[in-house]
Amino acid sequence: MLIGHNIHGIHQHLNSPVRYFSTVRDPVDLVISWYYFLRRIGGPAAQAIEDQDLSLEEFVAADEYWYGIPHTNNLQTRMLSGAGNTVSPGSCTSDMLDSAKQNVVNDFAVVGLLERFDETLLLFRRELDWGLPIYVRRNTTSSRPAKSDLSSSTLDLIRDRNALDLELYDHCREQFEERMRALDLSRDLQLLSLANAVYAPAVEIYVKARRAYNAILDREEW
C-alpha cells in the first residue's frame, strides 16, 4: 500500500494491479486551509509569506510553486489527471480536467469528500475490505477564517484560479452522492461515532503518558 500526496500514474511503474482511492475537497476551502497551514507550521514558505507580508489574496495571486507544485492553481485536477507540476500556473486545460474525470471513473475504487469524512471512510471500508476505520484528528488548522469571513475579491480570485477544480469537485461529489443513495450507512455511522468517542480520548491519554515517560528518561525516541 502506497500512501501520500501522490500524482495519478503510479500504476505505470508497477507490475501488479492497482486500485486507487482518494478524497477531494472543496477547492476554495483547500486554498484557504493551505495558506493558514503554511503559516502555522513555519519553515521557508511561512518565512516567505511573512517577509513579503502576503495576504491570502496576494498569496494566491503569486502562483508560487510551494513545495514543488502550484497548490493554489487547480491542484486536484493536476493530481488526478497526472499532470502534476508539469503545467505552469494559469495553463491548466480542459483536457486535463477530462483526464482527471476519466481517471476517477476508471481507476479509483472510491473518491470521497473531505467534508463528509466519516461516510468516505465507510465507503473505503466496503470497497477495500477494511475493519471499522476509527481515527484521531491530527494536523488540523483551527485558527483559519471561514469562507464567509473573506472578501468577495479574495474568494473570486480563488475561484478563478481553481475553475477546473470546482468542476472536478462537483463531478466527484455527484458520483459520491449517487453511491451514498444506494447504501444505508446509518448504523455504521453510529458505530463509528461511538467507537471514536472512546478511541480518541484513549489515544490522547496514551500520547501524553508516553511523552511524560520520555521526558522523565530524558530521551527523544518515541
Give the pLDDT of residue 21: 95
Query: Quick one: pLDDT band at residue 200, thresholds 50, 70, 90?
Result: confident
Q: Could you read off the pLDDT of 88-144 as tens digits, one per residue? A: 988 999 999 999 999 999 999 999 999 999 999 999 999 999 999 999 888 788 788
Task: Give the other-Cβ count within 10 Å of 60's Cβ.
Answer: 23
- The x, y and z cell numbers of residue 201, run together, are 480520548
What local confidence, expressed as pLDDT, does residue 162 receive?
Answer: 97
pLDDT value of position 222: 63
Within 10 A of 87 (CB to CB), how many other CB atoms are there? 17
Cα-Cα-Cα-Cα dihedral sign, residues 35, 39, 42, 46: positive
pLDDT band at 63 (very low <50, low <70, confident <90, very high): confident
* Nearest one of 117, 103, 113 to 19, comparing CA atoms: 103
**DSSP secondary structure, 33-63, as one string:** HHHHHHHHH-SHHHHHHHHHT--HHHHHHHT
CA distance 40 to 71: 16
Among left, alpha and beta (phi > 0; psi -120 to 50; other), residue 18 is beta
What would the pLDDT profile of 143-181 be if each residue is shown by its tens digit? 889 899 999 999 999 999 999 999 999 999 999 999 999
The model's pTM: 0.89
Computed over every residue of the chain, the mean pLDDT equals 92
pLDDT of residue 98: 98
